[in-house]
């Protein structure tokens, strides 16, 4: 009889939802992990006979799934949580957010704000986030200290800030940050033009060229409000999506953030070009931007991931709430209760986000050979019993407060709901420091 193979970790769970294949829920299975990767998923008793684990984690009342992927956020804006509530998007930007950023944003602001955001997201089961903000090297510092994955934006806008003078300066600084961090396995980059109304044609053409040369996604706000579209027609004679199409930016590497106001032909075009959408339902509701036509996008085969947006326009970086809101909004907007079943929403929060970032071969599902990014959710609380369908519970009943364990590349980051290796008092001190400055 062959001796058991020694591995780093064996995680045994009541249920496992691997995301691939779609719709599958495994009962009484285990995930075997070695050197940061998944080596096997198999029944618990079989796992115990085949593997000798240096560490075994038993989760008898839990569902295990891939780490969640936040496909759109502005992590450092956790320092502006609740700073400008109950105003329209353009007033929010022009009168509150941009003036505050002009006064306070610095490398330290980004590092500290991203540090807070990473703590919040990890505790909520998020193992990877796609960020759009200034000073990406400072955001990387925070993410690496927290041990989570980050796809960082090479932000581009036309007007000057404390970070950069013009579009060329933004690009130069962002690419320099990318080059300096090429050897960090947890860090990747996106081109991140802010939006069609803040980026000129010349800059978009350069971004398209750089994205192709560097093989990077393009992450951008698009069709978020009606005003954005009306202004584009006045200035350029076409709606933003058509303008981007003419400039060569629509393609399989485009992540269109929000995509709320879409005509039928635009949905067809996004599908034909293989674009992804980062759906941010809570932020869209809070800023009264509208309800994205998710049911139509799904029917046309457009890839949809989920994002929280920043804490300044959402107040929570909570992917459980995004899953629930995405499912409910799609049902009520379409008049079809069958739209976005629980497994489809879980796919949006995991593998779809990974695919949009070009990382679906590494993360986003529990498959042998992939990175061991895992999230465990405890389902035996009084408010969660009985449980007939763990997938449904994750979308419609459980919350981030039920996340018990989180692993990134096989390293445990949250255990029994406690964020490891970080002193909570430090987080409080950081928050108090910036609140005093911003008041």
Residue 413 belongs to domain with CATH number: 2.30.40.10
Q: Is the same domain home to 27 and 128?
A: no
For residue 91, what pLDDT is reported? 84
Consecutive 10-residue averages of pLDDT for the chain (439 residues): 88 98 98 98 97 97 98 97 84 84 92 98 98 98 98 97 95 98 98 97 98 98 96 97 98 98 98 98 95 97 98 95 98 96 98 98 98 98 96 98 98 97 92 90
Query: What global pTM score does this model have?
Result: 0.97
Q: Determine the pLDDT at residue 293.
A: 97
- Positive/negative CA dihedral, 200, 202, 203, 205: positive
- The answer to the question of residue 24 being in a domain is yes
- Give yes or no for a contact between 371 and 385, defined as CB atoms under 8 angstroms apart: no
Residues 36 and 409: their CA atoms lie apart, in Å, by 4
Q: How far is CA 350 from the centre of its chain?
A: 9
* One domain, residues 166 and 227: yes
Give domain status of residue 387, yes or no: yes
SS3 407: strand
Q: Is residue 367 part of a domain?
A: no
What CATH number does residue 101 fall under? 3.20.20.140
Same domain, 200 and 309: yes
Whether the Cβ atoms of residue 305 and residue 71 lie closer than 8 Å to each other: yes
Q: State the pLDDT at residue 439.
A: 78
Q: In this structure, are 307 and 222 located in the same domain?
A: yes
Domain total of the chain: 2
Verify that 208 and 300 share a domain, yes or no: yes
- pLDDT at residue 90 in the model: 80
Same domain, 393 and 270: no
């Amino acid at each position: 009889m062959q001796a058991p193979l020694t591995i780093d970790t064996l995680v045994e769970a009541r249920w496992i939802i691997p995301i691939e294949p779609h719709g599958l829920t495994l009962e009484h299975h285990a995930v075997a992990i070695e050197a940061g990767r998944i080596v096997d998923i198999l029944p618990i008793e079989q796992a115990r006979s085949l593997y000798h684990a240096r560490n075994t984690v038993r989760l008898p009342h839990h569902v295990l799934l891939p780490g969640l992927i936040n496909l759109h956020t502005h992590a450092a804006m956790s320092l502006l949580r609740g700073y400008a509530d109950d105003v329209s998007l353009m007033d929010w930007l022009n009168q509150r957010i941009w003036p505050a950023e002009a006064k306070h944003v610095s490398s330290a602001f980004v590092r500290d704000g991203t540090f807070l955001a990473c703590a919040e997201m990890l505790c909520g089961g998020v193992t990877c986030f796609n960020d759009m903000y200034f000073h990406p090297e400072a955001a990387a510092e925070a993410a690496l200290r927290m041990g989570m994955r980050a796809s960082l934006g090479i932000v581009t806008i036309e007007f000057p800030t404390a970070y950069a003078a013009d579009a060329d300066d933004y690009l130069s600084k962002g690419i320099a940050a990318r080059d300096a961090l090429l050897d960090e396995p947890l860090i990747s980059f996106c081109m991140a033009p802010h939006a069609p109304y803040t980026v000129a044609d010349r800059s978009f053409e350069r971004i398209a060229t750089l994205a192709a040369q560097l093989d990077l996604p393009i992450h951008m706000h698009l069709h978020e409000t009606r005003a954005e579209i009306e202004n584009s027609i006045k200035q350029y004679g076409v709606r933003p999506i058509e303008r981007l199409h003419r400039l060569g930016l629509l393609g399989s590497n485009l992540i269109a953030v929000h995509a709320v106001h879409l005509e039928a032909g635009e949905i067809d075009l996004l599908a034909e070009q293989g674009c992804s959408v980062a759906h941010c339902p809570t932020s869209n509701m809070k800023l009264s931007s509208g309800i994205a036509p998710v049911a139509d996008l799904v029917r046309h085969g457009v890839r949809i991931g989920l994002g929280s947006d920043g804490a300044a326009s959402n107040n929570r970086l909570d992917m459980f709430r995004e899953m629930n809101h995405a499912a409910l909004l799609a049902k009520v907007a379409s008049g079809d209760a069958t739209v976005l079943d629980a497994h489809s929403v879980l796919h949006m929060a995991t593998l779809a986000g990974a695919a949009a970032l070009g990382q679906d071969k590494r993360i986003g599902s529990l498959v042998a050979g992939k990175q061991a990014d895992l999230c465990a959710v405890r389902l035996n609380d009084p408010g969660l019993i009985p449980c007939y369908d763990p997938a449904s519970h994750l979308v419609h009943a459980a919350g981030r407060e039920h996340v018990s364990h989180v692993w990134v590349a096989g390293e445990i980051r949250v255990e029994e709901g406690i964020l490891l290796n970080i002193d909570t008092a430090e987080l409080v001190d950081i928050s108090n420091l910036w609140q005093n400055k911003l008041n």
